[in-house]
């Protein structure tokens, strides 16, 4: 499986204010929780994260083996911003930084 970018997570400081704007743009969210609001935009996930670390939106690439992909990217010069963590029974995520400090995420098992 080749990595595929399927989601964008946007850190927000005011979830209600952000939800009003993105709901006006995308329609009703499919998931509306205090910790995560998700919109399905033609099969692409756009999510609001009130607990986001900041630094702007993070695009997440779906990968088959999160640990192996993470190690390969760290060896290539990426640095870790957020260590792997479980976000759903079948999914873990982490956030790495490229050489310029741009964040990118991995989502997998």
pLDDT tens track for 15-70: 999 999 999 999 999 999 999 999 999 999 999 999 866 678 999 999 999 999 99
Please report which confidence band the pLDDT of residue 1 belongs to, taking 50, 70 and 90 as the band edges.
low
| pLDDT at residue 72 greater than cutoff 70 | yes
User: Going by C-beta distance under 8 Å and a sequence separation of 6 or more, which residues neighbour residue 92?
Assistant: 66, 84, 85, 86, 107, 108, 109
Q: What is the pTM of this model?
A: 0.87
Domain boundaries, the chain: 4-108
CA distances to 2, 48, 56 from 93, rounded to whole Å, are: 17, 15, 17
Q: Is 4-108 CATH 3.10.180.10?
A: yes
CA 93 centroid distance within chain: 8
Confidence tier at 82 by pLDDT (50, 70, 90): very high
Longest dimension (CA), the chain: 42
Instruction: Identify whether the C-beta of residue 10 lies closer than 8 Å to the C-beta of residue 19.
Output: no
């Amino acid at each position: 499986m080749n990595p595929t970018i399927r989601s964008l997570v946007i850190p927000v400081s005011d979830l209600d204010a952000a939800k009003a704007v993105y709901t006006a743009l995308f329609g009703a969210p499919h998931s509306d929780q205090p910790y995560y609001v998700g919109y399905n935009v033609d099969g692409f996930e756009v999510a609001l994260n009130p607990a986001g670390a900041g630094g702007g939106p993070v695009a997440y690439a779906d990968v088959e083996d999160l640990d192996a992909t993470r190690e390969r990217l760290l060896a290539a010069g990426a640095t870790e911003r957020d260590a792997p963590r479980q976000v759903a029974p079948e999914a873990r995520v982490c956030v790495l930084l490229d050489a310029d400090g741009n964040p990118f995420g991995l989502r997998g098992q």
